[in-house]
Amino acid sequence: MLETVRWITAEGKVLAGCEEGVQLHPGKLRIIDQTRLPQELVYLELDDIDGIVAAIKRLSVRGAPAIGCAAALGLAACAQHLSEKDFLPNIGKLADQLAASRPTAVNLFWALDRCRNKENMEELIQEALAILEEDIQMCQAIGRHGAPLIEEGMGLLTHCNAGALATGDFGTALSPMYVAHEAGRKFTVYSDETRPLNQGSRLTAWELHQSGIDVVTICDNMAAQVMKEGKIDLIIVGSDRIAANGDAANKIGTYGLAVLAKHHGIPFYVAAPTSTIDASLEQGDLIPIEIRDAAEVGAAEGVRVYNPAFDVTPNELIAGIITENGLHRSPYAFG
């Protein structure tokens, strides 16, 4: 078992849920299979585009920043199997295959757009590693900007997983928590289960517990009661895409938390890198929402299932958006 996810990432052994596959294992991408956590810590070594696409689709690697890092490093890994003459004719095709894996996380397209037009293998590898290093610096900056929101003895609520497993280092929503914890502040984090795939109970709770942070898992439908009981002072979540007006898409169930937070007078914050902001979309209604397999939900035979992976929280419910550039407050205008 890892001593803490955060320390391992800081040492460069596990980055964005990925090891530095290009440097340590030429032609391979090494990632944690997050579908096996917390029961098992299992690594996958992938060296073909179909395998990497499948891993992203089935959420072996997930979280918008981590998807971007894995796509860039995966593209570089696969490209190393191409001859010099085949590099330019095929790099765009490989990038297109990766881009089709997840429709909502804008970091995926942002990272691939930075990589797809490189002229040779060395340029591609350096760009992929630069994306990873920038993500690490981004995580730490979000933590510094968000940590002052967390006071001694607070109760925090988060949804899904936006920590070290979802990014290159500290995470986004969890980064302020790690920074505050390292500063010696004591607080409790309530981690929503996050149905239907339980990223909160499987990943966030495991990750925070490994780091020594006091964490309590609750079912998604307990959040209102926990707020009513006065246990929650602050909510911080991540985001997979933010529109120009500050509307934010995140894991399904986030919108409901924001509505509940408004009713109970609890400040609701979103933490995400600027690469998650899609200034081409004026508002959240334009964000494409991924619809996932009905089998994830579990229903009686013959019953239809609707399984959107994300919802969009309107900007008026968001007290602030924490990026690597600072804390932004409404009215939001990214562009």
pLDDT in tens, 228-253: 999 999 999 999 999 999 999 999 99
Residues recognised as catalytic: 240
Q: Please state the φ and ψ torsions of residue 299, each to the nearest 5 degrees.
A: -145, 165
Does this chain's domain 5-139 share its CATH topology with 143-328? no
- The CATH topology of domain 143-328 is Rossmann fold (3.40.50)
Q: How do residues 177-221 score in pLDDT, each as one tens digit?
A: 999 999 999 999 999 999 999 999 999 999 999 999 999 999 999
Q: Supply the pLDDT for residue 63.
A: 85
CATH code for the part of the protein at 5-139: 1.20.120.420
- In this prediction the pTM is 0.84
Per-residue confidence band for 294, with pLDDT thresholds at 50, 70 and 90: very high
Q: Examine the pLDDT at 74 and tell me if it is beyond 80.
A: yes
- Mean confidence (pLDDT) of the chain: 89
Domain locations in the chain as residue ranges: 5-139, 143-328
For residues 138 and 62, what is the distance between their CA atoms, to the nearest angstrom? 17
